[in-house]
Amino acid sequence: MERRSYRTCGFILMACLLVGVIPSTTMAKNDPLYTNPVQLTTDSHYDRNPSILLADDGTYWLFFTRGRDDQGVRGYPSANPPYEPYDPDMDYYDIYYKTARSLPGLLKATELKIPGPYPNNAQRDVAALQAGDGTIWVFTSTGLGQGTDRAVYFYQFKDSAWSGPEAVPDTYYAAHVDAVEKDGRIWVFYDIGYELFVTSYPPETGVWTTPVSIAHHATIAKAMTDDGMFYVAWVYIKPPDEWGPGIYLSSSDDGNSWTSTQSPIAAWGNGLTNWDPVLIKDRKIFWLYWAPSDTEQFIATSSSSTPMDTASWSAPVRMTRAGYGEDTWWDFWPEPISKGRNGGGTLALLYASERNPDGTGMTDGNIWMEIAVPRGIDR
């Protein structure tokens, strides 16, 4: 999410969390489908951009970034000038993580920080995965935030110890980052100057490959793999006039030759911009989550069984409220995960939000989770 470029618990609780809500097929587009959001972080700094994985040993790893400015509330006086008032898109961030054997266990799990030394990089965005050899890779980029070391960097957790950071070659001035493993390689997706690229790391050579261009006028990309294919959802952007009018999709079977949709697979409409797309496949259905933005920013969803067919995507449905009365806030950076091994469980959704604990006003950024994501949207 890069807005600055264009505008500046007890048993009862746990029982409630495990109950899903099936929305009516006549539900209006603007009615939120949120169920029982759970607050996973409570620090007064600005927490954002979650990335979650389920490791081979059954442990959930949640990564997120935490701002260094002591203010933490967007629009309030900054504790660390020169940026006044506080703008979370221009803060420096550290990478934190929590581990637990279940998603509800993340509520009380201890927060740990990936140790330094740190590059002079905002580290605003983060993407984590576990490779086939068990190594956990954590990639980070500036998100078009601060820093003189502006490449994509990565940390590794192996043999119970962290190493890094190391820079990914040819990624200077990368804005956003995502990563997946396919065919035994680590594949890193990033955008520079609103052009989307991918590079890969074959462990047998230990040398990053020459970057391949995927799409122009593209930013904030998230990738997934399914049945031998890459699918990458991204935001269309063409300054100075077109800032996130829709979400597009690119696909490839080898990471070298790419096909992109010629029209958006999703757009909220009504003049809103569209940010932070992410895909997940649940059984036979592809689900897209993203964050339309106006005075508030909220989470929306759409679905399709044939994702490259733009006409197949369902009408967008609002997932979160992002407001109470006249007060509005940002809900953004959705991060879905399929509960259970091999995608056999139901979906949970993590995201960053500025809502206060009871959802009646805005506060600092924190990580929230919908542990039972509604299904049954009329297609």
Q: Residue 16 belongs to what H/E stretch? A: helix 11-17
Non-local (6+) Cβ contacts of 330 within 8 A are 1, 74, 291, 293, 296, 297, 322, 352, 353, 354, 365
Rounded to an integer, what distance in angstroms lies between the CA atom of residue 244 and that of residue 222? 15
pLDDT of residue 379: 30
- 3-state class of 17 per DSSP? helix
Rounded to an integer, what distance in angstroms lies between the CA atom of residue 366 and that of residue 355? 8
pTM beyond 0.85, yes or no: yes
pLDDT per position as a tens digit, 187-235: 999 999 999 999 999 999 999 999 999 999 999 999 999 999 999 999 9
Non-local (6+) Cβ contacts of 21 within 8 A are 33, 35, 372, 374
Helices (H) and strands (E) in the chain, counts: 1, 26
pLDDT per position as a tens digit, 85-107: 999 999 999 999 999 999 999 99
pLDDT of residue 84: 87
pLDDT per position as a tens digit, 309-362: 999 999 999 999 899 999 999 999 999 998 766 555 689 999 999 999 999 999
Does position 9 have pLDDT exceeding 80, yes or no?
Answer: no
pLDDT per position as a tens digit, 234-259: 999 999 999 999 999 999 999 999 99
pLDDT per position as a tens digit, 21-37: 333 333 344 556 655 79
Query: DSSP secondary-structure letter at 105?
Result: G
Amino acid symbol at 305: S
pLDDT of residue 63: 98
Confidence band for 80, pLDDT divided at 50, 70 and 90: confident
Per-residue tokens: 11 = 């048993």
Question: Which of residues 120 and 5 earns the better pLDDT score?
Answer: 120
pLDDT per position as a tens digit, 120-165: 999 999 999 999 999 999 999 999 999 999 999 999 999 999 999 9
Task: Compute the average pLDDT of residues 110-128.
Answer: 96
Residues of the chain above pLDDT 90, percent: 82
SS (H, E, C) 299-354: CEEEEECCCCCHHHCCCCEECCCCEECCEECEEEEEEEEECCHHHCCCEEEEEEEE
Give me the phi and psi of 49, to 5 degrees please: 55, 65
- 3-state class of 69 per DSSP? coil
Non-local (6+) Cβ contacts of 243 within 8 A are 5, 6, 237, 273
pLDDT of residue 271: 92
Confidence band for 295, pLDDT divided at 50, 70 and 90: confident
Amino acid symbol at 354: E
Mean pLDDT rounded to a whole number for the chain: 89
pLDDT of residue 4: 41
Burial code (b: 16+ CB inside 10 Å, e: under 16) for 297-336 equals bbbbbbbbeebbebeebbebbbbbbbbeeeebbbbbbbbb
Domains and CATH numbers, the chain: 3-370 (2.120.10.10)
pLDDT of residue 82: 76
Question: Which of residues 3 and 105 earns the better pLDDT score?
Answer: 105
- 3-state class of 14 per DSSP? helix
The residue assigned the tokens 């490791």 is 55
